[in-house]
Structure 1
């Protein structure tokens, strides 16, 4: 539980961030209380306590706004912690190729999400805007790349704590070891596979296709549910 100090109005945003040890920034034009770090972070902690699915979480997007993963419910998702100045950074090219191939084959059933992280060798030091520009200009990335976060330690994003709990690494080690580790999330929100940084994107396709086809048989894909709902609506009209 957090013990919050009472601050005077005159305290600066910088002082508030320092005391709360939050690594996000205040909105210059806040729209709701949830856009402030203290409320967003508290909500994430509460979510972590009750989460049973990857789709229960709301990390922040490239603009710092909540990104509800529930919007991806029913898709198979490849999750990657990325960096712009790493020896593995060229994997962006392979990830984009994989994304395009599977988007053609399964247009509504698969996506990739990149989570920039600066914890490994300080290899992603830029702002979120810098990171977005880098990914698009150098590798033509079109899959979602969200806001920068931590994947390990006391400040690890709750969604990453969830992934590591569900899919520990070798010898049960949960800690992410380096940039470009990959987690595969099933259509019903469970982490079902994990690969080390050395595993190239083109080596993942078979496992991803297998997971999508499995979800298709189980009827958990969003596209199937959408088709069924459409058919039901047609009967009623």
Structure 2
């Protein structure tokens, strides 16, 4: 848990992991290189030395049991109305913080860490926390798009191809503004800002990560790619 040499700030990590993942069933506890996927996030949070408590927010008894085996707390089960595929990150985090505060102590900072980011490092979490100050409400992981989004194409209802941004389609890549996107790994904020600010608001700051350490996990193809990346990582 937290290094005793750290400041007396009270910090918690919350890892959301609902049981009803649809496109990759039981994704959060599926074995990756012999270990449940969620275990990587728990172990990274522990290795960062930043947290007084690491809590998994889940609606599923089996996920809760696996989480405890790897050193996380599961002091509550998430209600069903916050465990469907339509529920966003913020209400899940607000529910967890409310449960924690009922115990009588309010965290100074809280970090939501997804259960699906095995390439996240302790240093990423440490650098994210370091970004929080009086002008920064949220720090979140981000990366660049691999291709200029201004030159995106789409297929129209009539089946014809068209540029999404016709005014940019003929421009050179180097003449376009580089776009970034949420990398879906972690979100740091004070407890106050979790209730009062938007994650992607004007007071948010991205921590840029390299694209080779970012992998969505929405399909079996995504899972296969992740297993290949992890195999290369272990070999090197």
TM-score tier (shorter): under 0.3
Higher helix proportion (structure 1 or 2): 1
Q: When you count strand as a share of all residues, which structure comes out higher?
A: 2
Tell me the TM-score normalised to structure 2 length: 0.26
